Amino acid sequence: MLSFTERTINIIKNIPPGKVMTYGQIARLAGSPRGARQVVRILHSMSAKYHLPWHRVINSKGEIGLKENEAISAQKQFLEDEGIVFNKNHVIDLKLYQFHPEHESEDWI
């Protein structure tokens, strides 16, 4: 059986371009419904090593969850380059762009 970290990495790796997932959604699908902060730590410490599309992970409000202006600008640009549109308040419409792999085939992880 895969660990929470391994499941989280697999889920993030499989977010397709032009789609996003939330920290909490990933945590729930990886087996820890209250593990959103663990997802943040995994992204922070393992994105480079595993070449994770970190920019496709956002908060549950449809906002970029980063605090540093330079990182926020980079994430927003990466998402816009994939066709994701932000509203005037810099929020993504999750109804349009949220990926729901649980609705995909059984082998999505």
pLDDT band, very low/low/confident/very high, at 66 (cuts 50, 70, 90): confident
Entry pTM: 0.91
- Residue 109 inside a domain? The answer is no
- Residue 39 inside a domain? The answer is yes
CA distance 65 to 57: 9
Following DSSP, what letter does each residue of 14-61 receive, concatenated?
Answer: TPPTT-BEEHHHHHHHTT-TT-HHHHHHHHHHHHHHHT--GGGEE-TT
pLDDT band, very low/low/confident/very high, at 2 (cuts 50, 70, 90): confident
- Residue 33 inside a domain? The answer is yes
CATH number at residue 64: 1.10.10.10
- Residue 57 inside a domain? The answer is yes
- Residue 59 inside a domain? The answer is yes
Would you state the pLDDT for residue 82? 98
Which structural domain range is residue 31 located in? 4-97
Q: Are strands 57-58 and 21-22 parallel, antiparallel or unpaired?
A: parallel
- Residue 44 inside a domain? The answer is yes
User: In the chain, what percentage of residues exceed pLDDT 70?
Assistant: 94
Q: What total of structural domains would you count in the chain? A: 1
